[in-house]
A and B are shown apart, each in its own frame.
Chain A
Amino acid sequence: MSEPILECLEIGKRFGTTPVLSRIDLRLQIGRVTALMGENGAGKSTLLNIIAGLIAPTTGELRIDGEPVREFTPSAGQAHGIQIVTQELSLVPHLTVADNIFLGRELTAGSKHVGYLQSRRMFDEAQAAIDAFGVPINARDRVEQISLSYAQIVEIIRAYHRRPRILLLDEPTSSLTSNETQHLFDIVDKLRADGTTVVFTTHKMDEVERMADDIAVLRDGEITLKAAARDLSSAEVVNAMVGRKLAEQRLVLPEVADVPPVLAVEHYATRAADGGADTAFDFAIRPGEIIGLAGIAGAGRTAFLKSVYGLHPARQGRVRLAGADYADRSPSRSLARGLIYIPESRKEAGLVLSQGIAANAILANLGRFSGIAGWLKTSREHDVTREALEALRTKYESTRASVAQLSGGNQQKALVARCLIADDPKVLLLDEPTRGIDVGAKADIYEIIVELARHGVAIVVSSSELPELMTLSHRIAVFKDGFIARTFERDAFQEADIVRTAIGA
């Protein structure tokens, strides 16, 4: 093997007291493509961010060309010839594709203090760079005019146009259609031919088979498998990914009575099927049942929950709630019928951060706390909130304090408290109820979920953490490409099987 261009030696990283990476040893060879695999939270993005210089490691050493790296800043990383394309888009929407490709390195005429832009040259050069990848994007279009997936490709082209020696792609295909993914494959082939070193993260097995020379698998912040791609089978990869230690033992779930389902979804679809196949699906949940929704990011779990709740329309299919057809779905009607949705992004769609804890906890049930002329029964509001927060073991100073001051876990509890305060909850749709919160807070939320199920509430939990779903659910429905690909019963939960269904291995 040739000299490595980049080496990670015993790299470790902790955020606060939480270890995210430990003892990472990894070598990248010139012109080879490495796939970094692992479940959500395994530490993939953190590792890429360290290599790119966006964050510094807590322990260990990073060497580029055999020289240890001392400065971890984005500009230092770029000076070493490292470019990263993160999951979030970082393009300026109102500028053209060409402007974005040249952002910060504009071609100018005359004195550099005048900075007269050579727009024509930039457009031509940008268009040439795009054409070289064979994608139908016009360099003069503004980024907001092109599709999200083309924007993702523009980001990759922009990174490539800076002639990186190492290119890091964090889930480059998560917003691409299968057609565009083909383009990405071609781009990566070209990069490899040019001698660029590429590292990408993905959840999809077929992409690894198509693109990767080497595979590294992360599990709980440690590398569990490192080998050349052609020497590995997909079973070996899956086995290296799973087997994460369960944080808790399996909870004792209440028995589900054999009664008709409280929520039934028939012949349902939230998106157009790829290639015209009929991928409509059915879904039903009985009172007291907990069903987990598994699947990789973008598999359609959130779209399913949102459309059932009435935040946006479904493409087809019907919903029956408590035996009656429920066609004209909207958030307020759903709440009136006891169908509650807790969104995944608590800061964007869940909480009003400028408001107090109680105001947030009762936001969806204000009608119950107001009398004549909408006069609020404030003391009851705070009593009920306090009761709900205590049931969730929330740490807070006062129900009047701003919800923004709470830690992430306690914010989530203030949001979940809505389910406890609701009038007569029948069905709860919980989207990533434990994302980014600590183990203790998770356990508290699990306990409440099980308790609600015991009282006959049907609960749908969507989560990207499989161990959590296996702990918590009677059944797990696995989403893939917008529909339920397979459903597992609790006594047949096998992490490897479920992962295989989700990633299509």
Chain B
Amino acid sequence: MSTAPTSTQKPSDDAATAARRPAFFNRQRLASLVVWIAFACYVIPLAIAQPQFISFYNIISILMLISVYALIGFGEGVVVLSGGIDLSVGSIVGLAGVVAAVILTGHSGVGWCLVAIAGGVLAGLLIGAFNGIAVALLNIPSFVATLGTLSIALGVGYVFSAGQQISIDNDPFLNISINAYFGIPIPIYIMFIVFLLLWLVLSKTRFGRYIYAVGGNIQAAFVAGLPIRRVLISAFVISGGLSGLAGVLLAAQITAGIASTGSGYELTAIAAPVIGGISLAGGRGSIAGALFGVILLGTIDNGLTILNVSPFYQHIIRGFIIILAVFLDTIASRRKLV
């Protein structure tokens, strides 16, 4: 009460106004609505002008396009919620594809297909565990640790593939991206199953609480006796494993393992949760936000393609959209630099 009264006064004022407003229209909800509204402003006119945009076939192709991004975006979302960042996801995608392709070389049959899937995912889990240990036990900032593994995983992928593209001709493996049930290819099911699982884990289990608590205030989490190091390692393992799974699915789609195939994916993986309202500071947001983020990015890419916009411009537009989405969120939540 005796020091810095002006700064302690402010939050309570905000809290008071927030309490007076009806719960439905509070600022946070408004903030998440703004991005939805902006999204609708893009989709609805486009759907009217180009009806093929909302055709079943096009929606499936959008979902197919985003399924790989979604998996790494979910993993990234978990890491960001826990207060970290994972830059190695793109390299893991490439490495997992290479590992699967190497395993499948000269082997046919369902058995080897399963081994290849397991191998790709395991590669991701191992890199993720390495990240987690570096961050949680060796106290290396996650930005730096995963910047290191970004390069390491890429290099390991190059070594395993001798820098070559390794073609895949195992039929059961390639069928992963071809087979469809009720007209919906398998990767889309995988995306939604993973989403559902993560959503349940994060919102309904003790581990989910730990993630939010560690990301929101690691000091308080430690004082409350939470196993903060285990939580951090788990977050990176989840991210690595999902990136590995994404790499396997991508290898099936492109029928080859290429070490560099995921390079640059980390940008989308980070952008998606951030667009969806997950705070880069950690502890705030929902995994549904990450799904929304990839859907938004995928839909925009697809719409621009339908409108015949050159892919070069798509990069520029995508970059502005990322900034715009966060800017809208900043206005709505009245966040300030100081």
Contact = CB atoms under 8 A, between A and B. Distances in A.
Given A343-B223, A364-B224, A405-B18, A355 B216 contact: yes
Given A334-B225, A335-B225, A378 B2 contact: no
A376 B212 contact: no
Contacts of A405: 15, 18-19
B308 to A, nearest CB: 43
B210 interface: yes
A222 to B, nearest CB: 15
Given A15-B5, A45-B3, A408-B12, A366 B209 contact: yes
B279 interface: yes
Given A44-B2, A351-B217, A375 B204 contact: yes
A370 B205 contact: yes
A436 B212 contact: no
Contact of A353 (B8, B208, B217, B226): B217
B138 interface: no
B8 A436 contact: yes
Nearest to B219: A349
Given A46-B5, A353-B216, A373 B224 contact: no
A9 to B, nearest CB: 21
Interface in B163-222: 204-210, 212-213, 215-217, 219-222
B217 A404 contact: no
B19 A397 contact: yes
Nearest to B200: A375
B2 A355 contact: no
A23 to B, nearest CB: 18
A55 interface: yes
A352 B221 contact: yes
A225 interface: no
Contacts of A373: 205
Nearest to A404: B15
A311 B223 contact: yes
A86 B3 contact: yes
Contact of A374 (B11, B23, B207, B224): B207
Nearest to B214: A352
Contact of A332 (B3, B216, B219, B225): B225
A332 B5 CA distance: 35
A359 B28 CA distance: 18
B205 to A, nearest CB: 4
A54 B6 CA distance: 9
Contacts of B216: 352-355
Most chain B CB inside 10 Å of its own CB: which residue of A353, A364, A405: A405
Contacts of B207: 374
Contacts of A404: 11, 15
Contacts of B124: none
Contacts of B206: 366-367, 369-370, 374-376
Contact of B224 (A15, A44, A331, A402): A331
Contact of A376 (B3, B8, B205, B221): B205
Interface string B5-27: 11011011001101100010000
A261 interface: no
Contacts, number: 127
A311 to B, nearest CB: 7
Interface in A359-410: 359, 363-364, 366-367, 369-370, 373-376, 378, 397-398, 402, 404-408
Interface string B265-288: 000000000000001000110000
Interface in A318-335: 330-332, 334-335
B227 interface: yes
Contacts of A44: 2
A111 B221 CA distance: 52
B226 A332 contact: yes
Most chain B CB inside 10 Å of its own CB: which residue of A18, A45, A341, A374: A374
B4 interface: yes
Contacts of A366: 206, 209-210, 226
Nearest to A333: B225
Contacts of B215: 354
A354 B204 CA distance: 17
A303 interface: no
A45 B217 CA distance: 29
A331 B222 contact: yes
A311 B225 CA distance: 10
A492 B258 CA distance: 81
B1 interface: yes
A20 B9 CA distance: 14
Interface string A69-107: 000000000000000001110000000000000000000
B3 A363 contact: no
B219 A348 contact: yes
A350 interface: yes
A351 B223 contact: no
A481 B212 CA distance: 39
Contacts of B19: 397, 405
Contacts of B5: 15, 20, 46, 49, 55
Given A406-B15, A436-B1, A359 B219 contact: no
Contacts of B4: 86, 88
A43 interface: yes
B225 A359 contact: no
Nearest to B3: A45
A46 B227 CA distance: 41
A59 to B, nearest CB: 16
B217 A15 contact: no
A170 B2 CA distance: 11
Contact of B209 (A20, A359, A406): A359
A40 B3 CA distance: 11
A352 B223 CA distance: 11
Closest 3 pairs between A and B when the two form their complex, measured CB to CB: A352-B216, A332-B225, A45-B2
Given A20-B2, A354-B215, 16 more contacts: A46-B5, A55-B5, A332-B225, A332-B226, A332-B227, A352-B216, A354-B216, A354-B279, A354-B283, A366-B226, A370-B206, A374-B207, A398-B23, A405-B18, A407-B12, A436-B8
26 contacts: A40-B2, A41-B1, A43-B2, A45-B2, A46-B2, A49-B3, A86-B4, A330-B225, A332-B227, A335-B225, A348-B217, A348-B220, A349-B223, A352-B212, A354-B216, A354-B217, A359-B209, A367-B206, A373-B205, A375-B205, A397-B19, A405-B18, A405-B19, A407-B16, A418-B224, A436-B1
Interface of B: 1-6, 8-9, 11-12, 15-16, 18-19, 23, 28, 204-210, 212-213, 215-217, 219-227, 279, 283-284
